[in-house]
Each structure stands twice: as C-alpha cells, then as structure tokens.
Amino acid sequence: MNRTPHIAIVGATGAVGIEMLKTLEKRHFPVGKLTLLASARSVGKRLPFKAADHTVTELTRDSFKGIDIALFSAGGSISREFAPIAAAAGCVVVDNSSAFRMEDSVPLVVPEINAGDVRNHRGIIANPNCTTAITLMALYPLHKAFGVKRIFAATYQAVSGTGAKAIEELERQVEQVVRKQPVTRDVYPHQIAFNVLPHVDSFLPTGYTKEEMKMENEGRKIMHHPGFRASVTCVRVPVYRSHSIAVNAEFERPVSLAIAREVLKKAPGLDVVDDPENKQYPMPLFTSEKYNCEVGRMRLDCALDNGLCFWVSGDQLLKGAALNAVQIAEELLR
C-alpha cells in the first residue's frame, strides 16, 4: 500500500461523507491525493479539506483508476454496484453500508476489537452497523473478561442515523408543536418530535426488525463468537446526534463490578462516565462529535445470573460510521 495513498470518498456530500473528510484531516491521515465522488446532482459542489476546496465529481464505473482506498457511504445499492468495480481496479473499499457485512469473504471490522481481520480482505472491508459498533465498544472488553453468552438491549437512536431529511423533520415538527400548528411528516411513519418510535428499519417475519438482528449477526462475526445471542428492541428518539443503548448482559463467569470497571477503563476508544451520585452518566448531548464512546450506569443485574447492566452512548456518525472507516484505512497503511 502506498504510504501517501490516493483516497476517494464515495457519497462525499452526505452526512457520513462529510464526517469522513473531517476525520481524515483531524487524524492527520497521510492523504496523497483526494477524489470526491457523488451522484450527478452533487457534481461541482466544493468541499474543504486541508485549507483547499475540492470539487465533487460524478461516480462512474471508470472512477477508480489509480485510487488506493475508497471510503464508501452512499447506500447499499451503490455499494453493491460500484464496490466490486473499485476492487477489480485494485482499490481497497471500506464500505459503510450493509451490502457485504455478512459475506464470508468480507472482513467486518471494529479496529479496537478485530483489527487483524483487515489482513484477510479481498478488496472489500465492511464497516458494521452503527448501533452494533457502539455497543461492542463496551461489550467486547467485558466479553474478554467474563465470556458473554447473551444480551438483552434497547436502543435509543438519533434521527441523524436516518439522514439530513430526518434532522429537518425533527426541527420542523418541534416548531410546529410549539406554535400549535398541524404536524407534517415525510420521513417517519409517525411524528418523531416529543415521541419515540419502536421501529428502526423494516420488519422481518419474526417481528424483529433488520436493525435489531444486526446486533446478533454482526456481533458474532466481529467478536468471533458464533454462540453470541442478542434480543434487541431498536427505538428512534427525538435526539439529533449520538445513539445510546441500554444493555443487560449475561456472562459465562461470575461478574465483579470492580473488575468490570478496571477492564472498561483500559479499553481503547471508551471512556467510563459512571458516577450516579453526582449525576454523571453517558448522554448523547456530551458524546456528539466525540471519537470515544462512553459507558456508565454499571450495576450487577438483579434478574440474570452472572449479569451486568450498563448504558453506552456514542456518536453514530463517527464511531458508528466515519471514524471507524478511517481507522480501518489506518490499519491498511500499517
């Protein structure tokens, strides 16, 4: 791999694409050359990177000649069409969509957990689901200490996980409610302002949603733990940024709170914020735009054997997407 690689961002004008650009700059990634790719309607837009403006060009089948690493965040259908083309052109794709996550030949990577899997790539590496990544930042260190069997979890997912139009919808609805105007909706099936929706992604015949099953399926692959089980309810909340997850985890071995705390304090990419007496616990307000996730509200579970309850919060545009992708690119350079 070139030490100063030619980097492309596919979906450069989207929320995650813009965060990828900022993250490359903030982490001083050695970008030799930068190409910004998007759909025809975004062509000609200019985005800042390292004190210069870079023009967005159209994504085509010929876009990948000479590119070393392409960070994709343009949705599953674009990834399915263009990621194999990019890989065939000799480019390594880091894909943020769900298109390739469960394919055996594609590593699914959270660098703090399974960075070594990057070496097994055949041109495409997958970024996990944002909620899975944030949860595993706290769960995996505990798994190493106590051996996780299963979790029960409820998520509290920010609207920016749906995209820019969802942020606009929440802003508009808050104003409509405050002004006692009729509430209009385009993005979600129900009003999101002053409400919570127990519905993220599409429903499966089992009654779970696709999003809910990602925690079990992706968790097994990332942790190399085929017996891991997760029963999850995913909930959309009227928060702009940062997902939070309440987790009840059951382990093989007896859990000690003191050991759990020590393990989590040493975990990379994670801050322990756990002082309930002084009202200190993780919150989306304070994890937004931060690289590290936060864990707190730790207590022994009164309803599970060898159980631990915890609450984790993290920026789903960063650790859940852009930051994780850039960290994978950093692993590629190593």
Catalytic (active-site) positions: 130, 243
Yes or no: say if 166 and 187 are a contact pair by the CB < 8 Å rule: yes
Instruction: Give me 263's structure tokens.
Output: 């393990």
Beginning with the edge strand found earlier in the chain, give each strand of the sheet holding 270-272 in spatial order: 229-236, 148-157, 243-251, 307-314, 293-300, 270-272
**Secondary structure E strands in 193-237:** 229-236
The Cα–Cα gap between 132 and 213 comes to: 10
Task: Give the closest residue to 9 by CA, choosing from 113, 77, 95.
Answer: 95
Neighbours of 48 (CB within 10 A): 12
Yes or no: say if 333 and 2 are a contact pair by the CB < 8 Å rule: no
Torsion of CA 172, 288, 260, 249, to 10 degrees: 30
- At a CB cut-off of 8 Å and minimum separation 6, what does 51 contact? none
Helix 257-266, helix 130-146: angle, nearest 10: 130
The Cα–Cα gap between 239 and 242 comes to: 8
Residue with tokens 């062509």: 43
| 51: phi then psi, degrees, rounded to nearest 5 | 65, 15
- CA distance readout (Å), 148 to 140, 248, 299, 308: 8, 11, 16, 10
Yes or no: say if 315 and 289 are a contact pair by the CB < 8 Å rule: yes
